[in-house]
Amino acid sequence: QQKVQQSPESLTVSEGAMASLNCTFSDGTSNNFRWYRQHSAKGLEVLVSIFSDGEKEEGRFTAHLNRANLHVSLHIREPQPSDSAVYLCAVSMGYAQGLTFGLGTRVSVFP
Amino acid sequence: DMKVTQMPRYLIKRMGENVLLECGQDMSHETMYWYRQDPGLGLQLIYISYDVDSNSEGDIPKGYRVSRKKREHFSLILDSAKTNQTSVYFCASSFGNSDYTFGSGTRLLVI
C-alpha cells in the first residue's frame, strides 16, 4: 500500500523568504503528483500537478519531481501571510486507486 | 464553472441515527470518491465509484456504504452512526487520472 510522508511537520517563514516542503512516496509506479493547500476548516485548493520528472511552475509555486528518489518537493516563492495554511502532498498510481495523501506541513508566514 | 457540490455543509446526528451525505458533480466525470479527514490521520479513502452501480471499497470502508444511481450523484450512507465517525467528509471526482476536483466538505458531528 502506498505510503506518503511529508516533512517538516511545521514550518515558519518570514514574508518574502523561500519556503521548501518535502514529500516522499513508497511506490515507484506512481504517476500523478499534486500539492494542495488547505486553509483552516476549508476545502482543498490544488496548487501544482506534476506527472513527469523535473520541474513544474504555477505562479509562485514550483514542484520538483524525482521519481528515482521517490521524492517530490514544493517551493513557495515570496510567501505571504495569506499563504499560511496546511500543505498536502497527494500521490496516485491511477484513477482506480484514487489519491493517497500525506499528513501535511503546516506553514506559517509572518510579516 | 466545473464543480463538486456537497450537501449538507454541517450536520449533527445522534449515535445510532442514519446519516446521508450527498455529492454532485457537473463535469460528467466517471470516477468519484469519498474521503474522510481526521487530525493525525489525514485524508483517508472510504469508497471509489467507477460509474453507476460500480463501486469499490477504499482503505477504510467499514461502517459505510455508498450509492451511485446517476453518474453525477454519489451518496455516502452511515447506517447507525457512531461517535468515531465524527469527521470531515470530502467528495471528489476525476477525469481519468489527470483531473481531480474536490468538494468543500461536510462536517459531521455524531453525539
In this predicted structure, the answer to whether residue A1 has a pLDDT above a threshold of 90 is no
Contact A102 B42 (CB under 8 A): yes
Calculate ∠ Cα A45-B66-B21, nearest 5°. Answer: 55
From A71's Cα to the closest Cα of chain B, the distance in A is 19
What distance in Å separates the CA atoms of residue A79 and residue B42, rounded to the nearest whole number? 24
What's residue A40's pLDDT? 82
In this predicted structure, the answer to whether residue B1 has a pLDDT above a threshold of 70 is no
Average pLDDT, stretch A16-30? 95
Task: Convert A35-96 into a string of H (helix), E (strand) and C (coil).
Answer: EEEECCCCCCEEEEEECCCEEEEECCEEEEEECCCCEEEEEECCCCHHHCEEEEEEEECCCC
Least confident of A16-30, A43-57, A58-72, B93-107: B93-107
Contact B43 A88 (CB under 8 A): yes
Q: Does B10 touch chain A (CB under 8 A)?
A: no
Percent of chain A's residues with pLDDT above 90: 87
The contact set of A with B (CB < 8 A) is 1, 31-32, 34, 41-44, 46, 49, 51, 88, 90, 92, 94-104
CB A89 within 8 A of CB A33: yes
What's residue A95's pLDDT? 76
A-chain residue closest to B39, CA distance: A103
Amino acid at A11: L
